[in-house]
Structures are given as structure tokens and as C-alpha cells.
Amino acid sequence: MQTSSNLNLPFLMPAQAQKHVTHNEALQMLDALVQLGVASRQLSTPPESPLAGERHIVAEGASGVWAGVPAGHVAAFQDGAWQVFAPQTGWIAWIADEGVAHVFDGEGWSPFTGTSINPAPMVGVNTDADETNRLAVKSDAVLLSHDDVTPGNGGVQLKLNKAAPGDTASVLYQTGWSGRAEFGTAGDDDFHIKVSANGSDWHEALVIDRASGAVALPNTPPAANSFNLLKDAGRFAGSPEPQSAVVSGFEAPAYINPVNGADISAGPKYIYNNSDYGGSAGTLDPDIDALISKLKNAGSRRFGVEFFALQITAGSGTSTARTIDGITHYLPFTTPQVPLPPELSFNVHVLVKSGSVGCAIPSSPNALYLDGVRFTAPQRILPEDGWKQVTRRMNWSPASFLGYDNIAHQIFTTPGTVFWLAAFTATPGLLPMAPERYYGVIPSLEAWR
């Protein structure tokens, strides 16, 4: 009698008598082996009261009715008797009492892992993965351990890789699916730790510079406040700094030297006891009011240390160029080539009245901040941007720093640009920077001498 190649099913032969017997035998074999699911693979002796169609993978040391059956063979209870089938390579069986599938590899049965799932489009463990969270785990704990099977090197690493410095590679902590803390390289390649009370307003607690390892605490006040290195404290009212909260007239500072044909002139003044906020000393220029509203709370805008804004009108000269946003900008002013400390913060408020101001970025580790937010690419300031706090933090290595830099501010303009500077400071060390920190007048030591 001929049989099929894979399951050895008997064929009906020409002129065969009792064809139904052969046909039913083939059906019984199909019933036993197709969609193979066995009760167990742990028994070496048949169960006492098997159910019709019950199947087992026979264990080692078969006895009783199964005596002599090789381990791993499939036994099926059919028509009141046990039928035994030799498995073939590739057979898959569901093991009911273990809740797993096993595959026969030609020698024995082993857990079935299927074909390679590398890469798998998404994996969910006790929860559903989605297009954003392609790996999702819902568990009381997650364990990642070193490889002690291969064996590995005894260590373990969790790697987060991003495409470019401006992208984010971070670990986010949430409460009720709302962010509360995050650490990683967020927006640049420095290491950041930040926190939030509501998931939308974030405050940086710590920043580690990628080049030097220097640690900054943006929202932690310094141990001691720095004094302004500028003799007039950026008040543009004469040097040394007036010893009064009020000032009389504008005086162009010696530390701003116009170049490329630029012109320096007086801008309006912030007025002590101004009438905009309940005083009697006069009204504020609208642009000065906009700046003081950025620097101070409403209840603190009436009184304060007076200062002038300084207006610079860029000339038509074209030396010392920088291309920012595809537009060529030129140097409008320099500072004297005087000795500088290797760690220094320049802080100034800039308002563009017309044209374009560009803030360039020199080589690391120097940093640019606008309104307390760090940028790793040059930025333009336009009239519609209003007042911008521009902070340049210098952090040179003392061993390689030349000791001077007359364009440390790195401010450039297009020809003819008109812009204002206010509350200019140069302070030793690195000022804490954050979006809500808007420094105003920082006094020099001159006012106390």
C-alpha cells in the first residue's frame, strides 16, 4: 500500500476492497496530527481515563501500554486504543499544561520561538505597543542584567542614540502621564537634568558641559553675587558708576568702540519714581517700559536704579563678517583689548529698532543664551522680537586662553541697523541662566568706593 510523503497517510488503491477502512485510517491520522496539541509531555505511563482524541508526547522510560515507545513520540487515544506516531523535523505541538509551543528539531522537542523576529515592528509586554512607543512594558519592575549565558563581559549598558546634537536622547519620568523630571542630552550634546511641576513648564537644575565637564546650576543662586566689571555698571551715565540710584545725563562708555562707521548715541532712560507706576518723576518711553516689565514684577517698577539705553546705528563698513541665517552681518562695535578672566559672563538686553542683529557662536566651550535658553547655532534678532536678553558665557581653559578678546560679545549687524543696548554687564564667573532669570543693573565696585 502506498502512503503520503509527510504524514504517511495510506492511499486508496485501484480495485481495493474495504476502501472505507483505509480512508478512515487516514482521517484518524489527520485528526491526531493536524493542528497538533498535546495534553502534556511529562507522562511516561498513559493516563488512566483518557478522553477520546487525547494526545501526549511520551516521556523517557515509557511503560504500561506505552512500553517500548521512544521518548518524544506522539501517542493519540483513538477508538479506545493508543496510536503512536513518530514525529518529523519541523512538527509543532502546543503543550497544554505548559502553555507553550514546542518544535521537533529531529532529535527532541524544544520551545518554539518561531522564525527570527529581528527586527520586530513592535513589542508589547502586558500592554499594547503603538507607532510611537514600539516597545511598551507594563510591569512593577523591569530588570536588565549582564549576559551570564554567552557569557558576556560582566557589564551592561543602556544606549540611547539620537541623530543630531539638536535632537533629544533622554529618560523622562512622569506622574499620571505628565512629565515631572527628565535627564539626558536634550537639544544639544550637554547633559541636562530638569524638572517640571505640570509637564509643560520646565526648569533646568543641572547642565554638564560636553567639552569641559563643567557643571552649571542654572536655577541655583551663586554662593556670592558677582560685581560688574564695567565701571559705569552698564548704566551709560559716566564712570565711575554714580553712587546714587538716579543719574543725570547720558555718557557714552569707553568699553564700546564703534567700528565699520557705526554711530553711538543716547537712548531713553529708565526713570526712578516714574509716573507710569504711581510716581511723579515722569513717564517712561514705551520701549523702556517694555524692558522694565520684563525685568521686574508690576509692584517693583516704580522705583529702581536708573539707567540709560544706548543706541547704536551700524555704518556701511564690511569688515569682520559673520553669516547668520544666510545673511551677512558685520561687526558694529568692539570692546577694549583689556585683560579678561577665563570664566566670564556678558549679559545685555538688545532691542532691534530696524534691520537685523546676529548673535554668532564661536568655538566651544563658549555658550549663547537668549532669554535664558541656550542655543548651539547662531541666532538673529529682528524688530518684531522685542527685547532679548543676550548672554555670552565664556569658559576658557586658563592654560589655553590668551587673556583677552575684544569681540567676546559676538554681536553683528546688517549695514544701517539701529539697535539699543541696556543693562550691559560683564561679571566674573558663570551667571546662572534660565528662561525666567532677567538680569538688570548689576553694580560695579566703583559705587562703593
Instruction: Give 423-446 pLDDT, tens digit per residue.
Output: 999 998 888 887 878 889 999 988
Copy the grid coordinates of residue 293: 516689565
> 295: helix, coil or strand?
helix
Higher-scoring residue by pLDDT: 270, 365: 270
State the average pLDDT for the chain: 89
Copy the grid coordinates of residue 422: 541696556
How do residues 261-314 score in pLDDT, each as one tens digit? 999 999 999 999 999 999 999 999 999 999 999 999 999 999 999 999 999 999
Which CATH code fits 257-448? Answer: 2.60.120
pLDDT value of residue 365: 67
Identify whether the C-beta of residue 382 lies closer than 8 Å to the C-beta of residue 325: no
Tell whether the model's pLDDT for residue 351 goes beyond 70: yes
Q: Which residues touch 100 (CB under 8 Å, ≥6 apart)?
A: 94, 111, 112
Q: Where are the alpha helices (DSSP H) in 286-406?
A: 286-295
- Containing 327, the helix (H) or strand (E) segment is strand 327-330
343: β partners: 395
Residue 23 CA to residue 4 CA, distance in Å, equals 13
The model's pTM: 0.63
Residue 108 CA to residue 87 CA, distance in Å, equals 9
Local confidence band at 118 (pLDDT 50, 70, 90 cut-offs): confident
Phi, psi of 169 (to 5 degrees): -130, 105
> 52: helix, coil or strand?
coil
10: β partners: 3
Helices (H) and strands (E) in the chain, counts: 2, 28
